[in-house]
Structure 1
Amino acid sequence: MPDTTGMSASVAEVEIAKKAMSVPPGTFRHTVLLAAKRFKSTWAELGKLLVQVRDEAKYEEWGHASFEAYCLKELHIKKQTALKLTRSFSFLAKHEAPEELQQHEFPEKAPAFEVVEVLADAEERGQLSPTEYKSLRDSIWSPEKSPTELKKEFTERFPRPPPEPPPESLQVRKLAQMARKLASELAGSRRVPNAVAERAAALADDVEEIASSVTDA
């Protein structure tokens, strides 16, 4: 799993280790800290614990205003990373029998994070049904392909929809900004005739006037 915490792995591990020393061993909080320290190899362990921290509002007991603030300040995990971990584990918990997730091998032998993340995203978009997951289950729990190959395969099978175009008003405002910038640069160039710079400035005025009148329905 790529480092998306915003800190180098070594720095984050040192900070987490320091925090763990101040928390009583054997407590749930201490367990989460240790899981955060090793989550790159056992992402499902941390995902499972974070779901519990979030759902039971444990972060409030530990002096944090929000789940996101707890993850960032205590575990050195960004909001987006915490979301990916909890969503991916919740995906497995939804589709797997509880006893499957309680086996001794789990979470060390959980499917690769990057693969589960693609499937969780696909389900969230309504592209993956429970029946389809069952048909794919063996390929992710007992993979014959590498995580990279599976991720590519599933990404192509469940493509993200193209992003929606920005609002028309935003597009026109950007054009106005570009026109004004061009006019300013032309006016500042000694090699550009004043007549050309003046036409550019007039054009910028026109585009800005249009931008001020455009509204999105």
Structure 2
Amino acid sequence: MNLEQKMKGLEPGSLRYQVLEAAKNFKSSWIGLGQILYTVYKDKMYKEWGCMSFEAYCKGEIGIHQQTASKLLHSYYFLEKNEPEFLKDVQSQETPDPRNIPAFDAVNVLRLAAKQKELTEEDYQEFKKSVFEDGKEGKEVKKQMGLRLRSIREEEDPQKAQAERRVRTLKRLMATVRTLQKEAVYGHLVSDKTAKEIEKLIGFLDQEIGIEA
């Protein structure tokens, strides 16, 4: 509703109007918004509209935070550069089916995967399938990529991988103990003696993490 009110004060068809319209349709087609935002960013049009920075424009006018705007720009540019045929096909459709458009955060993860020198072309194609064919969300593809990178590093240096896994496990254990400490100790659910033992355990874990790191 806020975007529509802003659109009423602008000339239909103007670039500024088109950006707001694309933002309104963001959920159905982030590609359209990414494309037009890229133009605004590249040509610094936001300055003509009274904004000091692109981030301020995105947050103030279309209600998109810096992190989201950055992902949109990078994801759109990635498609333009690496998947031009897919992009051309989507842009040729008057009303693209949202179900056929990958999530922008997933495309952003794919973009990051393309930069990972440790990953092979086969790895990349697997992630690409997850994004374009399976329709996975960004967090799923990110987890998939993380597991693959971890597997590669374990193969290259198993001792280092084992040490890193140990530190991660200790940190998770520390976080769990601290959470339970707040609930049990600060809630007066255990005796003073038990509370001291829990504090000793936290100190021991902290020392172990320091040694391993």
Question: Do both share a fold (TM > 0.5)?
Answer: yes
Partner of 2:112: 121
Query: Residue in 2 aligned with 1:157?
Result: 148
Query: How far apart, in 2, do the equivalents of 1:128 and 1:56 lie?
Result: 35
What is the match of residue 33 of structure 1? Answer: 20
**Is the Cα–Cα contact under 8 Å of residues 20 and 33 in structure 1 kept in the other structure?**
yes
Looking at structure 1, the residues matched to 123 and 89 of structure 2 have their Cα atoms a distance apart, in angstroms, of 19
- 1:57 and 2:75 matched: no
Q: Which has the higher contact order (CA 8 A, sep 6+)?
A: 1
For residues 59 and 96 of structure 1, the distance between their equivalents in structure 2, rounded to whole angstroms, comes to 28
- Identity among equivalent positions (%) equals 37
Provide the rounded CA distance (Å) in 2 between the counterparts of 1:127 and 1:107.
35
SS in 1 for 2:84: coil
Residue among 63, 70, 75 paired with 2:62: 75
Equivalent in 78, 98, 116 of residue 91 of structure 1:
78
* C-alpha separation in 1, matches of 2:27 and 2:96: 15
2:91 maps to amino acid: Q
| 2:75 partner amino acid | S
- Residue 30 of structure 2 is matched in structure 1 by 43
Between structure 1 and structure 2, the one with the greater Rg is: 1
Query: What amino acid maps onto 2:47 in structure 1?
Result: E
User: Structure 1 residue 102 and structure 2 residue 74: aligned?
Assistant: no
CA contact (8 A) 2:114 2:124 kept: no
Does the C-alpha gap of structure 1 residues 136 and 152 become closer, same or farther in structure 2, counting only changes over 3 Å?
A: closer
Q: Find the aligned partners of 1:102 and 1:130 in 2 and give their Cα distance.
A: 27
Structure 1 residues 128 and 81: CA distance shift in structure 2, 3 A: farther
2:36 and 2:119 map into 1 onto residues whose CA distance is 25
Stretch moving more, 150-159 or 92-101? 150-159
Matched with 1:178 is none
Q: CA RMSD in A?
A: 3.0
Separation of aligned partners in 1, 2:58 and 2:51:
9
CA deviation profile, 1:26-81 (whole Å, cap 9, x unmatched): 21211110111231332222111111110121212222222111111111111111
Note the residue ranges of structure 2 that are not aligned, 5 or more in a row: 154-213
Unpaired stretches in structure 1, ≥5 consecutive residues: 1-13, 162-217
TM-score (norm 1): 0.56
1:60/1:126 CA distance change after superposition, 3 Å = farther
Q: Distance in 2 between matches of 1:116 and 1:101?
A: 15
The corresponding residue for 2:6 is 19
- Specify which of 52, 56, 66 is matched with residue 53 of structure 2: 66
Question: Using a 3 Å threshold, how does the CA distance of structure 1 residues 42 and 72 change in structure 2: closer, same or farther?
Answer: same
Question: Which range is displaced more, 101-110 or 27-36?
Answer: 101-110
1:94-122 alpha-carbon deviations (Å, 9 max, x no partner): 21125345331658432122321222233
Instruction: Read off the aligned partner of 1:17 and give its amino acid letter.
Output: E
Is the deviation greater in 94-103 or in 68-77?
A: 94-103
Code of the residue aligned with 1:62 in structure 2: it is: W
Residue identity opposite 2:56 in structure 1? A
Is 59-68 or 116-125 further displaced after alignment? 116-125
Aligned length: 146
